[in-house]
Amino acid sequence: MFQHSLIYDLIAFQAVLWLIALSNTWVLRRARRHAPPAHLPRVSVLVPARNEEANIERCVASLLAQDYPDFEVLVLDDESTDGTGCILARLAAADPRLRVLSGRPLEAGWRGKNWACAQLAAQANGELLFFTDADTHHQPQTLRAFATALIGEGADLLGGFPRQEVETLGEQFIVPFFSWVVYCFTPLALGYRLRFPALSTAVGQALLFRRAAYEGIGGHRAVRAAIVEDLALARQIKAHGYNWRMMRLTDLVACRMYRTGGEAAAGLSRNLFAAFDFRVIPYVFAWAWLLVMFLAPFLALGRHALGQPVDAPVAAILVCIGLALGLWLFVYRQLGLPLRLAPLYPFTMLVMVGVAWRSLWLGLRGRLEWKGRGMGGVRVRLF
């Protein structure tokens, strides 16, 4: 009887995820349908860079090539130990729109990226602040589309879903998951209407703020200790009564977050437990439920194939698997990810559960770090 009720519970839950994904698709597309405003405000493009010699030239070149009437590009060299600084100096000498800042040593109580972004914002002179990462690449119309959508949506913070570039096998199993889970589990239409910060989200690879709103929440200083700073900023915007919106960016912004599966696992190990604010029981429950949701139907089908009793009709098990496969295919298509990876979602879940437990273990032991900087002690709670 337990298995029977479980399969139907899984079907019902996946139907809810389908509704969220379909609703989000409509909401994200709507944000791109606004007419260009009569006046486009000055934009400051802000890029923190720490040991990004493999990415920084491609990123900066794409930003300087923007089809936008009034913008500046500021890049902060955050104490890089590789060739990042030399590359930036060469690029700045060739284009006066690029300003290169030397990052100051990390102050106590700050996370590295937050400290770098705060320094960038302090030097910017734009009415709009566009934060992006050094491992991104932008189409020439990115700023124009972003500013048009921000003004058309009446937003104070505009984020979105860039296309994630995944080349190695490890990247393909790990990187797409974080976009998939946000797309399926965050009902944007409700998040826009309800003053409930937990329903807000953002992707730090592309964030456009109205300067007044950014300063109104206290900027990055307000989230200086946050590990998942993009999510923290979105929640601050919501908590202060500002408007937050998302849009589809897969044709405008691409990002190669990591170069290997090991890098991807290390990067998400830093973020996964932190996204739950280091609350152990909700974190364990969420990952256990995800594992059951996507693997239990296959286990039931396997028992049936072996002639063992299964407390659910085979048709119901197949419907459950079909809903899951369809959901992964649909969301991967919306996110511009390779569709051939979607049928491998059971393996993605197994890999991600391993990364999730690694994140929990490192968090409990106070050993989270990124790019050579320790995250320091974190406050771990049961609930």
pLDDT exceeds 90 at position 1: no
pLDDT for the residue numbered 376: 64
> pLDDT by residue (tens digit) across 166-224?
999 999 999 999 999 999 999 999 999 998 888 999 999 999 999 999 999 999 999 99
> Topology of 30-168+186-259 in CATH?
Spore Coat Polysaccharide Biosynthesis Protein SpsA; Chain A (3.90.550)
- The confidence score (pLDDT) of residue 213 equals 98
Q: Residue with structure tokens 């408007």?
A: 243
Residue 337 and residue 163: Cα distance in Å, rounded? 7
Domain boundaries, the chain: 2-21+273-374, 30-168+186-259
Do the Cβ atoms of 135 and 55 come closer than 8 Å?
yes
Query: What span, in angstroms and rounded, lies between the C-alpha atoms of 135 and 55?
Result: 5
User: Which DSSP helix (H) or strand (E) runs through 373?
Assistant: strand 373-374
Distance CA 364, CA 12 (A): 34
What's the chain's average pLDDT? 94
Q: Is the pLDDT of residue 81 over 90?
A: yes
Burial grade of 284 (CB within 10 A; 0-12, 13-18, 19 or more):
middle
Other C-beta atoms within 10 Å of 52: how many?
Answer: 26
- pLDDT digit string (tens) for 314-330? 999 999 999 999 999 99
Q: Which of 32, 273, 267 is nearest to 135 (CA)?
A: 267
DSSP, res 142: H
- φ, ψ of residue 226 to 5 degrees: the values are -75, 135
% of the chain beyond a pLDDT of 70: 97
Q: How far apart are CA 261 and CA 267, in angstroms?
A: 10
DSSP string for 56-77: HHHHHHHHHT---SSEEEEEEE
CA-angle at 63, arms to 46 and 121, nearest 5° = 10
pLDDT in tens, 150-166: 999 999 999 999 999 99
Identity of the residue numbered 334? Q
Q: Which tokens sit at 129? A: 């602040």
